[in-house]
Amino acid sequence: MSTITLASGLNQLGLDLPADAQQKLLAFRDLLLKWNKTYNLTALRDPAQAISHHLLDSLAILPHVGDGPLLDVGAGGGLPGIPLAIVRPALSVSMVDTVQKKATFLQQAAIELGLKNVAVHHARVEEMRGQYAQISSRAFAEIGLFIELTRHLLAPGGRWLAMKGVRPDDEIAALPADIVVEKVIPLHVPGLDAERHLILLKAGS
């Protein structure tokens, strides 16, 4: 398995990040792996693999992330929410998870990394309030369920960003008639030899 450095991966993604953002990304990786020993936040244990499978995988969607407030659902270990918050300090990033220990980790990571643009919610997403211009998920649920649970939180004109592995044609075919698939974007994640797709969706009128 090929390993890749963060700088090399960012270069391949066409991302030019300041040194402090790169340092924070690596500090987040270290925090995630440290807490993982107790909290089981990710199946990965290898620091090199975490760069491609977590950091670069999260940042591959960056060109498709807009400016409005973003809610990351089933945030787990903070992917993609925390990497996005690190590289886009002006972006308001909220993360929600039903598991208390995961929410505790996210809160601690935001404090230790000095991320003033992050809010963490320990809640069931269907019971949350508020309006978000963008709602993301990574390996949270099938797309139809993701939309059903979060529809009340999507601001008018907002969109969903569903991160998937293999292109989920069956899930797309099963969506309600009023859900519009804007784009299905194949993602190329440096150092990751697996299919990745981003599905952008919005509610039709």
- Residues of the binding site: 74, 79, 125-126, 138
Beta strands in 61-178 (DSSP E): 70-73, 93-97, 118-122, 132-138, 154-164
Binding-site positions for S-adenosyl-L-methionine read 74, 79, 125-126, 138
CB 50, CB 97: distance < 8 Å:
no
Cis previous bond, 83, omega within 30: no
* Dist. CA 82–CA 80, nearest whole Å: 6
* Dist. CA 118–CA 112, nearest whole Å: 12
CA proximity to 180, closest of 137, 138, 132, 143: 143
CA proximity to 119, closest of 110, 130, 128, 132: 110
